[in-house]
Amino acid sequence: MPGPILYDYFRSSASYRVRIGLNLKGVSYEQRMVNLVEGDQRSAEYRELNPQGLVPMLVAGDTKITQSLAILDWLDATYEGSPFLPPDKDQRATVLAMATLVACDIHPLNNLRVLKYLKGPLGLSEDAKDEWYRHWVTTGFDALEKMAEDAGGGTWLVGDAPTLADICLIPQLYNARRFAVPVAQYPHLRRADETASAHPAFAAAHPDKQETHP
Ligand SMILES: N[C@@H](CCC(=O)N[C@@H](CS)C(=O)NCC(=O)O)C(=O)O
């Protein structure tokens, strides 16, 4: 059976999460670029597939899934090895809390369409928009750093194996650096980032490594 198709954009952090997940599971997949800067996501053709007009989207045979966390859950349920959630129920809750902090409380506020709305219809300056971006990343990372500290150490955010929390964190850290958000004050987040940069599944998912990099 041919591998799944990922509708992807190299700098999309939600797509970056899914690339990491696919790599961790050792799944080979086809990438189809949806160029967000050129507005491909809003085309009638793409909206026919995904009415939300966002990436990522995964198509595997007759199965079509949108939303990165739903895709990651499906991958975890479909493919063996490298589980995204720890078996211990307390650790699992911690990992889910960290992952959703990034995916639900940081990322949506800083998404391309939100930033465009701030600058366009709401008339914010470039500086004010960047300040908005930094404010919400810093607010989230401050809390995540404390949660990682409380989780008791390890080479990743929680323990010594990559989890959904790291899958969400690493792309958000990449984005934060692009927008010059200071991250030096987050030793636990930086430690997970260092571990990830030496991990083949994370390294291969990096935006700079994508063939769809224009
Ligand atoms: N909650 C969604 C977020 C998806 C999302 O916001 N994707 C962004 C890229 S990271 C996008 O397609 N943006 C297009 C736009 O803002 O026009 C998920 O986790 O998949």
Tens of each residue's pLDDT in the chain, 214 residues: 678 999 999 999 999 999 999 999 999 999 999 999 999 999 999 999 999 999 999 999 999 999 999 999 999 999 999 999 999 999 999 999 999 999 999 999 999 999 999 999 999 999 999 999 999 999 999 999 999 999 987 999 999 999 999 999 999 999 999 999 999 999 999 999 999 999 999 999 999 999 765 5
Which residues lie with the beta carbon below 6 Å from any ligand 1 atom? Answer: 12-14, 36, 41, 54-56, 67-69, 103, 111-113
20 Cα to the center of ligand 1, angstroms: 16
pLDDT reported for residue 150: 96
Domains plus CATH for the chain?
5-82 (3.40.30.10), 89-201 (1.20.1050.10)
Give the pLDDT confidence score for residue 45 in this predicted structure.
Answer: 96
What burial class does residue 52 get, using C-beta atoms within 10 Å of its C-beta: 0-12 exposed, 13-18 middle, 19+ buried? exposed
Which strands make up the sheet holding 63-66, listed edge to edge?
A: 30-33, 5-8, 57-60, 63-66
36 CA closest ligand 1 atom index:
14
Question: What is the whole-number distance in angstroms between the Cα of residue 48 and the centre of ligand 1?
Answer: 16
Q: Decide: 133 and 181 in contact? Cβ < 8 Å.
A: yes
pTM: 0.97
pLDDT of residue 1: 66
In the reported structure, the alpha carbon of residue 134 is separated from the centroid of ligand 1 by a whole-number distance in angstroms of 18
Ligand 1 mean position, distance from CA 195 (Å): 26
